[in-house]
Amino acid sequence: MPTIGVKRSLLFNALGQEFTDEEFDQLCFDYGIELDKIEPIPESKGKDVEYKIDIPANRYDMLCLEGISRALKIFLQKDELPKFHLSKFNENQKPIRMKILPNTQRIRPIVVCAVLRNVTFNAESYNSFIELQDKLHQNLCRNRTLVAIGTHDLDTIQPPFIYDAQQPKQIKFRSLKQQNEMQADEMLEFYSKDSHLKRYVSIIQDSDVYPVIYDSNNVVLSLPPIINGDHSKMSVNTKNIFIECTAVDSHKANVVLNIMLAMFAQYCSKPFEIEPVEVEQVDGTVILYPNLNDRTENVSVKKMNQRIGIQVDVETAATLLNRMSLRTEILDSDTLRVNIPVTRSDILHFCDIVEDCAIAYGFNNINKTVPKTSCIGNQFELNRVSDLIRHSVAESGFTEALTFTLCSCADVAEKFGKNIENIPAVHIANPKTQDFQIGRTSLLPGLLKTIANNQGTALPIQLFEVSDVILKDLTREIGSRNERRLCAVYYNRSPGFEIIHGLLDRIMTLVKISYNDTKSNDIGYYLNNQCEDSAFFPGRHAEIIVRGEKRGTIGVLHPNVIEQFGLKLPCSVIELNIEPFV
């Protein structure tokens, strides 16, 4: 949960009411936020304190003083939700335009913009404006990887603007609070040592082009998502603000832009009036930002009452939702039309509206009742069987290991003499290291690596693991599936195949599957040695057939495999899919 620090005096002034600390703590509780700490402000000499307020992570509209005070005033029914609107242009006026060039599609393809005109800041409101950007960057923007916010003094730059992506050596400007111009690559090297900005450098550093925004005079506004230009820097005296958000996610870019505008449009000479900006896309289409239209949802009061466990009429329900910054109209005796403003991007489904109604009603005011149904929890059956198998294998003298779910392509393919293209592996799009390129398709590589790092221990080394592997499966909605497996390894001076075979017989006895010496396809289990696998010693390998289906493999590893994993002694292994035993 983000924590917002606000001065008590400023907050109470915005609320138009004084509270004791206890009363304000109760107000926060009633609204679903938390007064975490009350800290003294040294320069106030005991006259003021700072409230540290914990805000739910999805309430982006409450990440600043303006948002908190507005939400609480509406909750206290002292104010109504403002109506945000776009300024209108006459025949001689045209909106500012931002043009996106094709190269941006290679790195950061989206930009959205808007303007706040005739803003009047003081020191506190200006600091709140800057701090909101930081909070959004940390929260919704995911440390600028999804969205980066740029704010500029519009009076210092000349539209129209161009959003491009160029080679680092082609970009040169003076960045914020710096005295000298630098090339973009030099700039990233410089900021890689900066305690505040170094975390963002890696976002674009490895790209062959960097995103950049110019005005019509070729003045650089920003190098997103790193730093703004010093030429267009803002101050408390800034009157006209140009806001641009570059992004890789259009939805989040629009949410961030709308939050910035909605929080500070109250300081414009025409409160809550926002000037739109035309953004020309790569294909030539023009989109006008921001989109301030409300979303609507029709909800049943009867269903809300059932979900919460209360009994309120349609008028009361409408009042409760209005207190939560949701404009509500009564359609009939049971139906409400809820208008969801741009500030409430956290409202996604009917259940979110129900939750807001419950908050406004007061959780402590809901009568406690005994549930009409009784549900008894139980362990997931696959986990129960897995635990039984773990205990049995451990009782057979094997030590349990827990290995990494991710591994390299070589671990499951090349080291076993196989081609990765023939293995149904789920690949990581941007792996950070070569050791973690794919989801493991076998438990065996992890156990062999564990033995390789513990060869100084006493022989024999007997390890096992019961866990999931990840397999590509295009029939599933997400294109992959998990499969629960058992893998056991016996490592000694002699292969010890009889040990591993005995473990297989013990597992089959535990799950009550008998040996089928007739090798028919519908009952029991048997070993099929009429197969080939480059991972195993020829003639010392078999498939485990259970009820006519291949469910695993057993055998002695090939010397080449043993050498590839840095081992020196023979290994016998078994890997078995245990899901059919549930």
CATH number for the domain harbouring residue 307: 3.30.56.10
Report yes or no on 372 lying in a domain. no
Q: Residue range 247-257: average pLDDT?
A: 94
Q: Which of 274, 289, 304 is the last residue of a domain?
A: 289
Label residue 431 by pLDDT band (50, 70, 90).
Answer: confident
Assess whether 110 and 202 both reside in one domain: yes
Distance (Å, whole) CA 65 – CA 158:
32
Q: Return the structure tokens found at 432.
A: 């950070």
Assess whether 179 and 321 both reside in one domain: no
Angle, helices 350-361 vs 301-308, to 10°: value is 70
Assess whether 10 and 136 both reside in one domain: no
Distance (Å, whole) CA 114 – CA 285:
18
Q: Residue range 170-180: average pLDDT?
A: 92
pLDDT of res. 145: 93
Strands 96-100 and 161-166: parallel
The separation between the first and the last C-alpha atoms of the chain, rounded to the nearest angstrom, is: 40
Strands 406-407 and 438-439: antiparallel
Q: Where are the extended beta strands (E) located within 417-570? A: 438-439, 461-472, 480-491, 525-528, 536-546, 549-557
Q: Residue range 328-335: average pLDDT?
A: 93
Q: Residue range 170-198: average pLDDT?
A: 91
Q: Which of 363, 395, 422 is the last residue of a domain?
A: 363
Assess whether 386 and 480 both reside in one domain: yes
Amino acid at 558: H
Alpha carbon separation from 113 to 224, 260, 408 (Å, rounded): 14, 11, 42
pLDDT of res. 100: 96
Q: Residue range 409-416: average pLDDT?
A: 91
Q: Residue range 257-286: average pLDDT?
A: 94
Q: Residue range 37-47: average pLDDT?
A: 83
Assess whether 110 and 196 both reside in one domain: yes
Distance (Å, whole) CA 173 – CA 270:
35
Assess whether 12 and 139 both reside in one domain: no
Report yes or no on 218 lying in a domain. yes
Distance (Å, whole) CA 424 – CA 110:
34
CATH of the domain at 566: 3.30.930.10
Q: Which helix (H) or strand (E) holds 49?
A: strand 49-54
pLDDT of res. 185: 92
Assess whether 16 and 100 both reside in one domain: no
Q: What angle do CA 327, 330, 333 make, to 5 degrees?
A: 150
For the segment 531-562, what is each residue's pLDDT rounded down to a tens digit?
A: 888 899 888 899 999 888 899 999 999 999 99
Chain-centre distance of CA 311, in angstroms?
37
442: pLDDT strictly greater than 70: yes
Report yes or no on 557 lying in a domain. yes
Report yes or no on 163 lying in a domain. yes
Mean confidence (pLDDT) of the chain: 92
Which residues on neighbouring strands pair with residue 337, listed in sequence order? 298, 329
User: 112, 239, 227: which is closest to 171 by C-alpha?
Assistant: 227
Distance (Å, whole) CA 347 – CA 165:
35
For the segment 480-509, what is each residue's pLDDT rounded down to a tens digit?
A: 999 999 999 999 999 999 999 999 999 999
pLDDT of res. 450: 95
Radius of gyration of the chain (CA): 32
18: pLDDT strictly greater than 70: yes
The number of distinct structural domains making up the chain is: 4
Assess whether 126 and 165 both reside in one domain: yes
What are the φ/ψ torsions at residue 424 (nearest 5 degrees)? -75, 65
- Domain containing residue 31: 3-75
Distance (Å, whole) CA 295 – CA 318:
16
Assess whether 394 and 461 both reside in one domain: yes
Assess whether 354 and 392 both reside in one domain: no
Report yes or no on 373 lying in a domain. no
For the segment 79-131, what is each residue's pLDDT rounded down to a tens digit?
A: 988 999 999 888 888 999 999 999 999 999 999 999 999 999 999 999 999 99
Report yes or no on 370 lying in a domain. no
Label residue 433 by pLDDT band (50, 70, 90).
Answer: confident
Assess whether 58 and 184 both reside in one domain: no
Report yes or no on 247 lying in a domain. yes
H, E, C per residue of 266-311: HHECCCCEEEEEEEECCCCCEEEECCCCCEEEEEEHHHHHHHHCCC
Q: Residue range 122-142: average pLDDT?
A: 93
244: pLDDT strictly greater than 90: yes
Assess whether 235 and 304 both reside in one domain: no
Percent of the chain with pLDDT over 70: 100
Distance (Å, whole) CA 384 – CA 372:
29
Q: How many residues does the chain have?
A: 582
379: pLDDT strictly greater than 90: no
Report yes or no on 156 lying in a domain. yes
Q: Which of 75, 105, 139 is the last residue of a domain?
A: 75
Alpha carbon separation from 62 to 56, 135, 254, 345 (Å, rounded): 9, 10, 17, 12
Q: Residue range 281-297: average pLDDT?
A: 93
pLDDT of res. 128: 93
Label residue 521 by pLDDT band (50, 70, 90).
Answer: low
464: pLDDT strictly greater than 90: yes
Percent of the chain with pLDDT over 90: 78
